[in-house]
Amino acid sequence: MESTRVFIEFLMVLGLALVCGATAQRLRQPVVIGYLAAGLLLGRANPFVSVGGEAIQSFADLGVTFLMFSLGVHFSFRELLELRRIALWGGGGQILITALLAGTSFTTIGFAFGQAVLLAEIVAISSSIVALTLLQMRGAFNEPYARLIVGIALAQDLLVIPFLAIVPALTGESAGAIGLEVTRSLLLAGAVLVSLALLGTRVVPWVLYQVARLGSRELFLLSIVAIAFGVALAGQEAGLSFALGAFLAGVVVSESEFAHQVLGEIVPLRDVFSVMFFAGLGLLLDPEAIARNWPAVVAILLAVVVVKGFTTALVLTRLGYPPEASVHAGLYLCQIGELSFVLALQGLAFAVIDADLYNAIIAAAVISIVVNSGLVSAANRVVPVLALPLRTAAAAEPELMPNPAPDSSPLRGHVVVAGYGRTGRELVRALERRGFRYIVIDRDPDTIRLLRRRGIPAVYGDAANERVLQAARIPQARVFAIAIPDPLAAETAVRVARRLNPVLDIIARADRRVHVHRLAEAGATEVVHPSFEAGLEMVRHTLHRYGVGIQEIQALISARRLDYYEEPEQPEE
């Protein structure tokens, strides 16, 4: 029976994905690579077993919906509005420059003009599903670079609309008709976004409240699924991608008080069906097509990984974002995926490309996701190296936001806080409550503008830059608190600050054990490891519940802290 065959294929994919995912995990590789490998082993590369693509694609669509919906729940409309500068200038600049460089390169190596333009569009657009999935798998949604990735990914998804409308023009259709279609699509998409904002603030919270009052978990889950698919389909009808529609459905739900409960209900479904999405990509890979078209595959891969990755990092750095965060964004976005398949299918339908080039695009997309997963996995080693030339170039350029001259401020004996993230904000709150004077250093222009509007002394720039530290009056400061996530920049900031002020009290944050000792060797007075400190707080709470005295607990914690921070460097725990 047909239904039996479908479930057998589903079981085969899940079973092999489990084996390949576990193998990838044992080899310390992203599990996404294992899922892709499972699809490859059951696809065209396997002459003995053939898994039909249609049934798996249906399950994959479910995975895309639940995955993007759950990611959207992490964001609110207010947070998306805060990303408009990143989306407009970062996303727009990245897409434009990447498309120009890639299109020129494709024309130079012999592709026809129409093919070069289509390939440039395909290369410029990343898979938001892959990028956001990697963020979720690595628990990196609270990292500084996450908002850069989300902003650019949203801009790319929206620009697919005019890109699709342009494809017929590559075959000679009138420019006027194409312009009219682009305008119509953009206006319709804008109307959908306004409607979703109204749904999120008015209708959906009320609906979920009414369903929750019934006290039925099953009905609550059904309402979530209905909202996810309903908004996703509405977005698709308006010209948005189905994935973007599902993401916006999650944003709509995030405005309600039930967002955390929604996540709890949807995550198990997301995790099962998202496996099918990546396995489905592996099924598309045809080794024979790669062999026949390997020059085109290599050219597309170089454009995706090298040109787009570099362009993304460069554009964001020029906009004033930290080089390390910019490089992270470039690594996460140097791939192509589902939206590129849509553009390629459109090009095939209008005879802009032939079947061989279409297969080359599919192959390059799947391989780019594998390469991308590996680069993200190695980000801690790769980012400091790639960020170094960007940091050097940024330091040599005129400042985007001029800082006060070092001698123009009367500050003396103050605290310099480098990094206005969660850690830096808590410290600033404490300093404000006690009335101690301080100055903040940050690389986010939006943060600096906000602080200055509030009357808070703030210096724009990299805390590892001597000129920036001079502007923050480090030679006259009493305490330097380094709360930036990049270990290389933190270590450099410690060395420069120690040279400028030998008696300065320097407190630094280290996210990994290995960086604790490096920062101490660089000259930090005290290094704080947040994960270790959180563990000590759990020890304090647990022992107190069992009646252990406060003095005994404090002695135990003090001894452990002394051992941890002063014992020789050891492998990560």
41 contact partners, CB below 8 Å, separation of at least 6? 16, 20, 282
172 contact partners, CB below 8 Å, separation of at least 6? none
Question: What are the pLDDT digits (tens) for 56-94?
Answer: 667 777 777 777 777 677 666 666 666 777 888 888 899
Q: What is the average per-residue pLDDT within 359-386? A: 87
pLDDT above 70: percentage of residues in the chain: 83
Would the pTM of this model clear 0.75, i.e. be above it? no
307 contact partners, CB below 8 Å, separation of at least 6? 98, 101, 102, 105, 123
Q: Which residues are 439's β-sheet partners?
A: 416
Neighbours of 259 (CB within 10 A): 17
Neighbours of 151 (CB within 10 A): 23
CA nearest to 343, candidates 161, 479, 472: 161
Q: What integer pLDDT is reported at residue 46 of this predicted model?
A: 62
Q: What is the average per-residue pLDDT within 40-60? A: 67
Residue 27 pLDDT more than 90? no
SS3 assignment for 418-485:
ECCCHHHHHHHHHHHHHCCCEEEEECCHHHHHHHHHCCCCEEECCCCCHHHHHHCCHHHCCEEEECCC
Unique residue bearing structure tokens 């890639």: 102
Unique residue bearing structure tokens 């009335």: 435
What gap in Å lies between CA 391 and CA 467, rounded to an integer?
13
Question: What are the pLDDT digits (tens) for 126-135?
Answer: 988 788 888 8
Chain centroid, CA 462 distance in Å = 22
> For the purposes of burial, counting CB atoms within 10 Å of the CB of 236, is it exposed (0-12), middle (13-18) or buried (19 or more)?
middle
Amino acid, single-letter form, for residue 331: L
Amino acid, single-letter form, for residue 493: A
How many CA atoms within 13 Å lie on the side-chain side of 425?
Answer: 6
Chain centroid, CA 326 distance in Å = 11
Residue 393 pLDDT more than 70? no
Strand, helix or coil at 400? coil
Domains assigned to the chain: 2-393 (1.20.1530.20), 415-528 (3.40.50.720)
| Contact of 246 with 132, CB cutoff 8 Å | no
426 contact partners, CB below 8 Å, separation of at least 6? none
Average pLDDT, the chain: 81
Residue 572 pLDDT more than 50? no
Q: What integer pLDDT is reported at residue 222 of this predicted model?
A: 85
Residue 372 pLDDT more than 70? yes
Residue 407 pLDDT more than 60? no
pLDDT above 90: percentage of residues in the chain: 20
> For the purposes of burial, counting CB atoms within 10 Å of the CB of 225, is it exposed (0-12), middle (13-18) or buried (19 or more)?
middle
| Contact of 419 with 484, CB cutoff 8 Å | yes
Q: What is the average per-residue pLDDT within 349-364? A: 86
Question: What are the pLDDT digits (tens) for 245-281?
Answer: 787 788 777 767 677 677 677 777 777 777 877 787 7
- Which H/E stretch holds residue 509? strand 505-509
Q: What integer pLDDT is reported at residue 7 of this predicted model?
A: 76
Residue 3 pLDDT more than 70? no
Residue 408 pLDDT more than 70? no
What would you report as the CA-atom Rg of the chain, rounded to the nearest whole angstrom? 26
Query: Best-predicted range by mean pLDDT among 225-239, 305-319, 508-522, 549-563?
Result: 305-319
Query: Best-predicted range by mean pLDDT among 151-165, 228-242, 295-309, 454-468?
Result: 295-309
